[in-house]
Amino acid sequence: MLLIDCPHCGPRDEVEFHYGGQAHVPYPVDPYALSDRAWAEFLFYRDNPRGPFAERWVHAVGCRKWFNAIRDTVTYEFLAVYPMGSPPPNTSTASPPAHDSAHDSGSDPS
């Protein structure tokens, strides 16, 4: 049972949260400018790294707020939590999550 540090409510059990997949994959500003391939990559392709991974969580049965987190996919340890729209912080063992080309054409809501 993960212990997740909601930025608004503090540490709570994993069952209060929903997982939101990879972070920093913004909705493309102009989806129609993308090739089918690039659009499909936005829709369906996500990174699956071994180690630190920036991902989205929502405190679904708590404050209902979305936030970002860096989590190690090997140890499941949360290395950082940070607000939606913020760039990923430097965690000691974390390298910034990779963006692929499809994602670069979008913009972060920050």
**Burial letters 80-105, b for 16+ CB under 10 A, else e:** bbbebeeebeebeebeebeeeebbeb
Q: How many residues of this chain interact with another protein, rule: CB under 8 A?
A: 30
Tokens of 28: 């493309």
Min. distance of Cβ 11 from another protein in angstroms? Answer: 9
Min. distance of Cβ 17 from another protein in angstroms? Answer: 12
| Amino acid, res. 106 | G
Q: Which is nearer to another protein, 11 or 90 (CB)?
A: 11
Binding residues for another protein (CB under 8 A): 1-3, 13-14, 18, 20, 26-27, 31-32, 34, 36, 39-40, 42-44, 56, 58, 60, 64-66, 75-77, 84-85, 109
